[in-house]
């Protein structure tokens, strides 16, 4: 693909967010599905990870309260909600789970596969479904449950801008993955990316090598075009970084003048 001019280095930000994510925060809107949205209660799993719709996530479940939660979800055929633990609360989550602080927006996780181990632990694979906002929480079970309302992306006013933006992000993501694997001595096999802008934006958000708080910003954003534009800017930055890394590793080209000092005078 054509070379892109790298964007200027990100400015300092009090929240630790890069300029693209600062812009998306200022444009963020929360849309609750329907005038009278269906509100549901679901088990919550606080984790140091951000789950996105349609994305897979493997988990190792070993704590008793979460083994109980997973067994309930399997038995009742219901999802649980993955919510990001707020910064600095990871240790508290292990010692005082009832008081663990999390972000208010998460993603429902549907259990797709379960591997039960001999000592009762489980390896599970979940797939993200819908996003939700927590309205209230309860501690009446051994694990936390949340009263949640589904959130969705708002309609994009300029639909004509989405197709070229989607195509650009697809190309940048392929370029990013190709260059990342090349640095590891591997090649990118065939890669099928969503053509639908919203699923593509979640795929990119899952792959991007950014901080968890930045991924959370992308999860909470409800403007598909704004999310894709933010991801385009981040991908441009990352591709430029990978290009510089590859250039630094490239061997110096062999020329006659390179070995002139070693030439025999005989």
For residue 191, give the CATH number of its domain. Answer: 1.20.58.1480
Round the average pLDDT of the chain to a whole number and report it: 84
Domain hosting residue 147, numbered range: 31-152
Question: Which of helix, strand or coil describes residue 208?
Answer: coil
The pTM for the full model equals 0.80
Task: Give the other-Cβ count within 10 Å of 251's Cβ.
Answer: 5
Q: What is the pLDDT at residue 159?
A: 76
Pair type for strands 145-152 and 122-138: antiparallel
- Which one is predicted more confidently, 248 or 254? 248
8 Å CB contact between 31 and 153:
yes
* Span of 16-30, 105-119, 143-157 with lowest mean pLDDT: 16-30
Is residue 173 domain-shared with residue 226, that is, in the same domain? yes
Tokens representing 76 are 């009742």
Domain assignment present for residue 147? The answer is yes
Residue 84 placed within a domain: yes
Residue bearing the bigger pLDDT, 107 or 11:
107
Taking only Cα atoms into account, the Rg of the chain, rounded to an integer number of angstroms, comes to 23
CA distance 215 to 37: 26
Q: What is the mean pLDDT of residues 116-124?
A: 95
Domains of the chain: total = 2
What pLDDT score does 38 carry?
A: 72
The Cα 260–Cα 263 span in angstroms is 5
CATH number at residue 139: 2.30.130.40
Residue (of 46, 60, 52, 6) closest to 218 by Cα position: 52
Please report which confidence band the pLDDT of residue 129 belongs to, taking 50, 70 and 90 as the band edges: very high
68 plus 163 within the same structural domain: no
Distance of alpha carbon 162 from the chain centroid: 21
The pLDDT of residue 35 is above 50: no
Is the pLDDT score of 68 beyond 90? yes
- pLDDT for res 10: 46
Tokens, residue 117: 């181990």
Q: Is the pLDDT of residue 202 over 70?
A: yes
- In the predicted model, is pLDDT for residue 137 greater than 90? yes
Indicate if 202 and 230 belong to the same structural domain: yes
Asked if 139 and 199 touch (Cβ cutoff 8 Å), the reply is no
pLDDT at 19: 65
- Residue 69's φ and ψ, nearest 5 degrees, are -65, -45
Q: Is residue 258 part of a domain?
A: no
């Amino acid at each position: 693909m054509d070379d892109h001019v790298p964007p200027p280095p990100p400015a300092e930000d009090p929240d630790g967010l890069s300029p693209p994510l600062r812009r998306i925060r200022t444009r963020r809107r929360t849309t609750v599905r329907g005038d009278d949205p269906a509100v549901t209660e679901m088990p919550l799993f606080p984790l140091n990870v951000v789950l996105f719709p349609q994305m897979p996530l493997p988990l190792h479940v070993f704590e008793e309260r979460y083994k109980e939660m997973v067994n309930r979800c399997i038995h009742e055929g219901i999802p649980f909600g993955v919510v990001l633990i707020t910064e600095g609360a990871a240790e508290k989550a292990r010692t005082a789970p009832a008081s663990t602080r999390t972000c208010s927006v998460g993603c429902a996780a549907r259990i797709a596969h379960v591997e039960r181990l001999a000592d009762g632990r489980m390896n599970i694979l979940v797939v993200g479904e819908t996003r939700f906002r927590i309205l209230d929480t309860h501690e009446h079970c051994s694990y936390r449950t949340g009263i949640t309302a589904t959130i969705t992306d708002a309609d994009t006013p300029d639909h004509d801008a989405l197709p070229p933006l989607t195509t650009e992000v697809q190309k940048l993501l392929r370029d990013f993955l190709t260059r990342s694997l090349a640095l590891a001595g591997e090649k990118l096999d065939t890669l099928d990316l969503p053509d639908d802008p919203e699923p593509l934006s979640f795929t990119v958000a899952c792959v991007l090598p950014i901080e968890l708080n930045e991924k959370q910003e992308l999860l909470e954003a409800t403007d598909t075009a704004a999310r894709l534009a933010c991801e385009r800017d981040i991908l441009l930055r990352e591709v430029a970084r990978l290009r510089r890394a590859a250039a630094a590793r490239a061997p110096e080209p062999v020329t006659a003048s390179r070995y002139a000092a070693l030439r025999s005078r005989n």
